[in-house]
């Protein structure tokens, strides 16, 4: 008899709305849906450094995603116990044991019989001297490791097999540190279906399912190109995957919730924040999503075919965060005639004043300054005059006092400014904040032993090491298609963009298979560079990949985000709007395609 398990994705980042858990548990209890697992992803790269600072202040109780304890476990513990739904969360951050203690204390207080597993081994801060002695290089830029005294966190990205072992030991709730986002889903699949460490296709398919679930409602209409079709997003439904033993799955959501599950929403999420779709590297498998097909099989029900897999890398990707000076900035508005010019003059004067004061104080130069005129075309790369704009102005300096001078001069220019300056008051003036940068490198799997603690029963795990995967053969590209009718790209495609460190990706999915040739022919790296060049550095590199199974293209742009995360001074440091810039462009297509789009 074929087996199907049901997993829901309830969190995509630390700080997301807490509505998912009660929504999903209520739907399960009413019989509207069935759930075996709810999974939670709380950790982004920058989150780790925030949690590291919290642990430094409170070593015994700080350093984990507190929302998991206060908003998931505490208010819903009885329902979790009554339903038998198992929870898997990377909420442990840099202090999984403290998170586990907090969960166990709530269970004991309630007098319930639930087993809690805590998985550790990813945190390498205690080995910082050995890490430094190995002299690692950044896996993207080749830069040397920063000085150890500046380092805030070091975490290897672990995989799913320790989670599966914890489930086999009877764990009802699992807390991990830094695992890859999809591992919380893949671990459940490994346990339920008995997949082994060399079942590459199954592991890739389970990882794809985890990738669809890991950002919560982004698979059910959040950030969707056709956002007008998603209904009441105040009550958006969270995604549920019905996973089969062959790795295929159906994506859906609870009935009578807002949002939408269709080919577009799921396809956008598949392409979100991936690089080479034929070499999506995870600790358990090298994934190939290029031939995956995505099919609508009913209202809010989308079938996703299995993926392909190859041997996992022999190392763990490891992310180190470190302090690199300070930054600050603010937003101001100008309105009235020639507002773009007003904002430009103000920004130039404020930066000039601050630079003069720095020189007078012998404090050195700003590391970087940035000004963007939002509403005046700077986000689109085509400056235009406007009657109302927002000026974002920011700077970075090695010393907090240097950034303080910058903020002081912005405020001090208020009476000398062009007319029409305004700002929302009452929230207090901005303050310098520490810049945290990301340094990514590789750690041999043989160097790391993982510990699994199920209520005091301790076991260990080491991931097996295999020969590196060979490169997959590239799929044939669509035949060239030419045309002379200009049409807006949004009528031809869905698109979503995102970030990984200082890299940006934009996934473009043809709304109809017959549009793919025209899209591939028009959306060349040269076209892309012409549209998005204002976001890129002189050394940026553009790669383009074809996914024939989903009729999609993925662009990957290196060095496109001004450092990314909190290191960046940009208004959009995570490339969330890049796809929207691209969708606003026009391309030339054959008349028959244009006619179909326009009707």
190-215 confidence digits (pLDDT tens): 999 999 999 999 999 999 999 999 99
Residue with tokens 């038998």: 84
pLDDT score of 156: 97
Does residue 477 belong to any structural domain of this protein? no
Residue 273 lies in a domain: yes
Q: How far apart are the first and last CA of the chain?
A: 46
State the pLDDT at residue 557: 94
How many Å apart are CA 386 and CA 403, to the nearest integer? Answer: 30
Residue bearing tokens 């309630």: 110
Distance in angstroms (rounded) separating the CA atoms of residues 254 and 243: 16
Going by pLDDT thresholds of 50, 70 and 90, the confidence category of residue 381 is low
Give the pLDDT score at 468. 87
Residue, of 258 and 53, whose pLDDT is higher: 258
Comparing CA positions, the residue from 66, 45, 306, 277 lying closest to residue 180 is 45
358 — phi, psi (to 5°)? -60, -45
**pLDDT(584) > 90:** yes
SS3 assignment, position 392: strand
Indicate if the pLDDT at residue 427 is higher than 70.
no
Whole-number Å distance between alpha carbons of 223 and 257? 17
Distance from chain centroid for Cα 283: 17
Q: Is a pLDDT exceeding 50 seen at residue 306?
A: yes
Q: What's the whole-number mean pLDDT along residues 591-596? A: 95
Residue 440 CB contacts under 8 Å (≥ 6 apart), including other chains: 138, 139, 140, 317, 318, 319, 320, 501
- 267 in the same domain as 371: no
248-258 average pLDDT score: 98
Shared domain for 412 and 510, answered yes or no, is no
Longest dimension (CA), the chain: 79
Strands 552-558 and 280-281: what pairing? Answer: unpaired
H or E stretch covering 153: strand 151-156
pLDDT tens-place string over residues 477-505: 999 999 999 999 999 999 999 998 899 99
Mark whether 298 and 360 lie in a shared domain: no
- pLDDT value of residue 380: 64
**Length of the chain (residues):** 599
Residues 67, 192 within the same domain: yes
Residues paired with 333 in a beta bridge: 390, 422
Residue 283 within a domain = yes
Check whether residue 234 and residue 351 sit in a common domain. Answer: no
Same-domain check for residues 58 and 196: yes
- Secondary element (H or E) of residue 588: strand 586-589
For residue 2, pLDDT over 80 is answered with no
The answer to whether the CB of 204 falls within 8 A of the CB of 180 is no
Residue-level pLDDT at 53 = 86
Query: What integer is the mean pLDDT of 398-423?
Result: 95
Residue 173 confidence (pLDDT): 98
Report the Cα 141 to chain-centroid distance in Å: 20
Domain count, the chain: 3
Q: Which residues, 6+ apart, have CB-to-CB distance to 250 below 8 Å?
A: 241, 242, 297, 301, 302, 303, 304
Of the candidates 247, 255, 236, the one whose C-alpha atom is nearest the C-alpha of residue 300 is 255
User: What is the phi-psi region of residue 381: left when phi exceeds 0, alpha when psi lies from -120 to 50, beta otherwise?
Assistant: left
Judge whether residue 1 has pLDDT over 50: no
Rg (CA), the chain: 25
Among 400, 421, 436, which residue terminates a domain?
A: 436
Question: According to the model, what pLDDT value does residue 566 have?
Answer: 82
Domain C-terminal end among 403, 418, 436 = 436
Instruction: Specify the DSSP class assigned to residue 124.
Output: -
In the chain, pLDDT over 70 holds for what percent of residues?
98
Distances (CA, A) of 212 to 240, 379, 482: 9, 29, 34
CB atoms within 10 A of CB 429: 11
pLDDT band (50, 70, 90) for residue 236 = very high
Q: Which of 310, 340, 357 is the last residue of a domain?
A: 310
Give the DSSP letter string of 215-264: TGGGGTTTT-TTGGGG--GGGBPPPEEEEETTS-EEEE--TT-BS--SHH
Residues 42, 167, single domain; the answer is yes
pLDDT value of position 285: 98
- Residue 468: inside a domain, yes or no? no
Same domain, 187 and 263: yes
Least confident of 378-382, 406-410, 578-582: 378-382
Domain assignment of residue 141, yes or no: no
Whether 316 maps to a domain, the answer reads no
Tens of pLDDT, residues 500-524: 889 999 999 999 999 999 999 999 9
Phi then psi dihedrals of residue 176, to 5 deg? -120, 165
Look at residue 193 and tell me if it is in a domain: yes
Kindly tell me if the per-residue pLDDT of 229 is higher than 90: yes
Fill in the DSSP letter of residue 68.
I
Asked if 268 and 411 sit in the same domain, the reply is: no
pLDDT of 377 over the 80 cut:
no
Domain identity same for 424 and 300? no
Domain identity same for 377 and 422: yes
Helices (H), 281-416: 339-360, 400-412
> In the structure encoding, which two tokens stand for residue 133, read together?
């002695």
Q: Which tokens go with 418?
A: 């062009």
Model confidence over 438-459: pLDDT tens digits?
999 999 999 999 999 999 999 9
Mean pLDDT of 150-166: 96
Task: Classify burial at 599, counting beta carbons within 10 Å of its beta carbon; exposed 0-12, middle 13-18, buried 19 or more.
Answer: exposed
Which tens digits make up the pLDDT trace of 95-127?
A: 999 999 999 999 999 999 999 999 999 999 999
Q: Please state the rounded mean pLDDT for residues 389-396.
A: 96
Looking at the DSSP assignment, which residues form a beta bridge with residue 334? 389, 421
Residue 418 in domain:
yes
For residue 573, what are the domain limits?
485-598
Q: In this structure, are 419 and 523 located in the same domain?
A: no
Instruction: Centre a 10 Å sphere on the Cβ of residue 562 and count the other Cβ atoms it contains.
Output: 18
Residue closest to 121 by CA, chosen among 421, 566, 447, 555? 447
Share the mean pLDDT of the chain.
95
Percentage of the residues of the chain whose pLDDT score is greater than 90: 90
Ranges assigned E (strand) in 411-491: 421-422, 433-444, 450-454, 457-461, 485-488
Tokens of 540: 């940026």
């Amino acid at each position: 008899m074929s087996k199907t398990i049901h997993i829901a994705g309830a969190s995509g980042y630390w700080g997301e709305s807490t509505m998912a858990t009660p929504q999903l548990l209520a739907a399960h209890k009413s019989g509207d849906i069935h759930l075996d697992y709810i999974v939670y992803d709380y950790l982004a790269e920058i989150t780790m450094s925030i949690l590291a600072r919290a642990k430094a202040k409170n070593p015994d109780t700080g350093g984990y995603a507190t929302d998991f304890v206060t908003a998931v476990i505490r208010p819903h513990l009885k329902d979790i116990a009554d339903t038998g739904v198992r929870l898997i969360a990377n909420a442990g951050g840099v202090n999984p044991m403290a998170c586990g203690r907090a969960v166990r204390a709530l269970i004991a207080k309630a007098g319930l019989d639930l087993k809690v597993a805590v998985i550790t081994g990813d945190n390498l801060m205690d080995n910082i001297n050995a890490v430094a002695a190995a002299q690692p290089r950044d896996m993207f830029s080749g830069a040397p490791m920063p000085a150890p005294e500046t380092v805030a966190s070091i975490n290897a990205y672990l995989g799913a097999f320790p989670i599966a072992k914890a489930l086999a030991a009877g764990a009802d709730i699992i807390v991990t540190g830094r695992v890859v986002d999809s591992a919380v889903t893949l671990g459940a699949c490994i346990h339920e279906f008995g997949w082994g460490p060399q079942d590459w296709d199954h592991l890739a398919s389970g990882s794809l399912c985890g990738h669809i679930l890991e950002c919560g409602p982004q698979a059910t209409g959040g950030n969707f190109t056709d956002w007008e079709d998603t209904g009441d997003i105040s009550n958006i439904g969270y995604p549920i995957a019905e996973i089969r033993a062959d790795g295929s799955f159906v994506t859906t959501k609870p009935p009578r919730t807002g949002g939408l599950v269709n080919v577009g929403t799921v396809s956008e999420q598949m392409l979100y924040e991936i690089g080479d779709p034929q070499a999506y590297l995870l600790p358990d498998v090298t994934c190939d999503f290029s031939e995956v097909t995505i099919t609508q099989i009913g209202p809010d029900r989308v079938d996703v075919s299995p993926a392909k897999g190859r041997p996992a890398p022999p190392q763990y990707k490891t992310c180190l965060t470190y302090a690199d000076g300070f930054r600050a900035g603010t937003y101001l508005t100008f309105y009235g005639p020639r507002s773009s010019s007003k904002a430009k003059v103000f920004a130039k004067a404020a930066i000039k004043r601050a630079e003069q004061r720095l020189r007078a104080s012998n404090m050195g130069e700003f590391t970087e300054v940035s000004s963007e005129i939002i509403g005046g075309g700077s986000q689109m790369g085509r400056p235009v005059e406007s009657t109302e704009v927002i000026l974002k102005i920011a700077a970075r300096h090695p010393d907090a006092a240097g950034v303080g001078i910058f903020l002081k001069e912005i405020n001090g220019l208020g009476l000398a400014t062009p007319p029409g300056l305004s700002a929302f008051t009452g929230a207090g003036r901005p303050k310098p904040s520490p810049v945290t940068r990301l340094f990514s490198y590789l750690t041999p799997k043989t160097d790391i032993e993982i510990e699994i603690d199920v209520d005091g029963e301790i076991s260990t795990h080491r991931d097996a090491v295999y020969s590196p995967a060979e490169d997959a053969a590239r799929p044939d590209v669509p035949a060239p298609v030419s045309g002379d009718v200009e049409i807006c790209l949004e009528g031809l495609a869905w698109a979503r963009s995102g970030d990984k460190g200082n890299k940006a990706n934009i996934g473009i999915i043809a709304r109809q298979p017959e549009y793919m040739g025209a899209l591939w022919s028009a959306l060349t790296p040269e076209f892309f560079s012409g549209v998005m060049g204002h976001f890129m550095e002189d050394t940026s590199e553009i790669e383009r990949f074809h996914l024939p199974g989903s009729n999609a293209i993925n662009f990957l742009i290196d060095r496109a985000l001004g450092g990314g995360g909190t290191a960046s001074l940009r208004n959009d440091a995570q490339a969330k709007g890049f796809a929207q810039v691209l969708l606003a462009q026009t391309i030339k297509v054959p008349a028959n395609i244009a006619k179909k789009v326009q009707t």
